Amino acid sequence: MIKELIIDSSPNGATIALLQDKQLVELHKEQVSNNYTVGDIYLGRIKKIMPSLNAAFVDVGYEKDAFLHYLDLGPQVQSLLKLTKQVRSGGYQSKLLDGFKLEADINKGGKISEILTKNQLIPVQIAKEPISTKGPRLSSDLSIAGRYVVLVPFSEAISISKKIKSNTERTRLRKVVESIKPKHFGVIIRTVSEGKGVDELQKDLLDLISKWEQFITKLPSVEPSKKVLGEIGRTSTILRDILNPDFQHIYTNDNSMFEEIRSYIHEISPDMESIVRMHKHKEPIFDHFGIEKQIKGAFGKTVNLAGGAYLVIEHTEALHVIDVNSGNRTASKENQEENAYQVNKEAAKEIARQLRLRDMGGIVVIDFIDMHKPQNRKELFDFLRAEMQYDRAKHTILPPSKFGLVQITRQRVRPEMNIVTSEVCPTCNGTGTIRPTILLMDDIENNFNYILTEQNEKGITLCVHPYIEAFIKKGIYNRQMKWFIKYGQWIKVKSNPSYQITEFHFFSSKDEEIKL
């Protein structure tokens, strides 16, 4: 499987597209103004204790108070509160936890009112970004993620990813981490650590310890409800989590982004630094790689499949519903059962992609085409599970119900990606009526008077529909020649088949559109 990362950078942020075998499978938007990214650590102030919910509402500077449940406090929350109080009062000087005495774990079935009080300060980490009308979801069980390991303060436990199957490798990794981890810090060993040496693991762990020291340094002076430690950008987070030898290229259209990514990859995987490329074509980066077309085809209520079938995707407040339709697919050679099975398999593959692409979270209900054979239903369920294994979000898939419905729950940590694919008609601007076509040449020439006479532009190009281009260039003494005589300069005329019949645009000598 060939993976590529295409990054379209703009002043407002970046749009990140992940391609697998040239097909778009993930789309992320990184906003410059987004201050509530999963992993960010804030110094929260308790605004309200809700005993009925066994939770608290916390001020982290967002317009709505964030939500902190008792089960998200973490077993060592008393140690965190004690450290925060000592550090802010100047009673604890060390940046690590060597001389710190840990408190006892809290009771799993306890009450939040026994732990927290109104106006109390507590460091909290964003577990879910603000979604719809809800504020962020928080956790005070802090962790700092790296490329190979995750650092967990106030713990001594070493956990190893279940995806590392070899007992020999698991034992080796445990011994390596035990020898390098600091006191009172737990470590989670990630899947990508498999086969890595002591130097790489130690460097990653030292980077995380440095971040913890930054947190302790900032804690005494930071104001309540402000950020103490920020997670790395969305681009670097994706690279940290999924970069592997399957990646062939990473393209970006921004010089600073190019240098940032190359520097980050040099740190985490120096041998792959050469895959970072700068996009230098005049054509927009998403158009050049065919991503814009894929976005238009993949988002929206109806998604067409290659075999003639299609999906209808509806979003509600409580859940997402996906209906599978056979469309114009015919069953001339196969029987009805076999045809339904093939359509369902094709739909299952696209549904797994759609969940990642739109980042749909919560409950998803899929209405596949009815199949009568239990064996076919089982094979479809197994096929869907196999396709969903590439999804990094936690998810659970239930077998088909008696009604043929498949239910999926999928982790939701940030707002769903929603892109409007319908466009306002550039000719009528949504009114359903257009200007008289007989006035088209008058409109173009009125703009010429403004651009050439008042703005004194040179070397402009008129871009129109192919039919209009043919009309302008028809005959020896044509419209283009008349314009040359009238304005004293040659005006280039190009056609664009995607234009509406009465649509036209002007471009400067630098190929930049002239806004009118």
φ/ψ of residue 113, rounded to 5 = -65, -20
- Looking at residue 205, its pLDDT comes to 92
Rg (CA), the chain: 29
CA distance 323 to 313: 7
Ordered by start, the domain boundaries in the chain are 1-32+231-289, 39-227, 299-408, 435-512
- Looking at residue 509, its pLDDT comes to 86
Structure-token match 């060993």, residue found = 189
CA distance 65 to 158: 34
- Looking at residue 210, its pLDDT comes to 92
- Looking at residue 360, its pLDDT comes to 86
Mean pLDDT, rounded, for 95-100: 88
Interacting residues of 294 by C-beta distance below 8 A, sequence separation 6+: 23, 24
Reported in sequence order, the residue ranges of 316-433 that DSSP labels E, i.e. its strands, are 319-325, 362-367, 395-397, 405-410
Superfamily of domain 1-32+231-289: eRF1 domain 2 (3.30.420.60)
Query: What is the CA 280 to chain-centroid distance, rounded?
Result: 24
* Between 53 and 316, the higher pLDDT residue: 53
Beta bridge partners of 276: 250
- Looking at residue 141, its pLDDT comes to 94
Mean pLDDT, rounded, for 480-509: 88
- Looking at residue 426, its pLDDT comes to 60
Residue 170 tokens read as 């698991």
What is the fold, at CATH topology level, of the domain defined by 39-227? Answer: OB fold (Dihydrolipoamide Acetyltransferase, E2P) (2.40.50)
φ/ψ of residue 342, rounded to 5 = -65, -40
Q: What is the tens place of the pLDDT at every residue in 296-351?
A: 878 878 888 887 889 999 988 778 999 999 876 655 445 888 888 999 999 999 99
CA distance 408 to 397: 5
**Secondary structure of 134-197 in the HEC alphabet?**
ECCEEECCCCEECCCEEEEECCCCEEECCCCCCHHHHHHHHHHHHHHCCCCEEEEECHHHCCCC
Q: What is the tens place of the pLDDT at every residue in 189-231?
A: 998 888 888 888 998 899 899 999 999 999 999 999 999 988 7
Percentage of the residues of the chain whose pLDDT score is greater than 90: 41
Q: What angle do CA 313, 314, 318 make, to 5 degrees?
A: 130
- Looking at residue 332, its pLDDT comes to 46
CA distance 208 to 220: 20
Per-residue pLDDT at 52 exceeds 90: yes
Interacting residues of 382 by C-beta distance below 8 A, sequence separation 6+: none
- Looking at residue 68, its pLDDT comes to 94
* Between 9 and 85, the higher pLDDT residue: 85
Q: At what angle do helices 234-242 and 255-268 cross, to 10 degrees?
A: 30
Q: What is the tens place of the pLDDT at every residue in 431-474?
A: 666 667 677 888 888 888 888 877 788 889 999 999 999 999 99
Q: Which of 18-32, 51-65, 218-232, 350-364 has the lowest mean pLDDT?
A: 18-32
CATH architecture of the domain with residue range 299-408:
3-Layer(aba) Sandwich (3.40)
Per-residue pLDDT at 57 exceeds 60: yes
CB 384 within 8 A of CB 352: yes
CA distance 266 to 264: 5
Nearest of 364, 279, 347, 356 to residue 310 by alpha carbon? 347
CA distance 71 to 302: 40
- Looking at residue 406, its pLDDT comes to 94
Q: What is the tens place of the pLDDT at every residue in 116-152?
A: 999 999 999 998 888 777 888 999 999 998 888 999 9
Mean pLDDT, rounded, for 159-179: 92
At residue 462, the 3 state secondary structure works out as strand
φ/ψ of residue 181, rounded to 5 = -80, 145
CA distance 143 to 218: 17
Beta bridge partners of 395: 410
Considering the chain, what is the average pLDDT of its residues?
A: 86
At residue 467, the 3 state secondary structure works out as helix
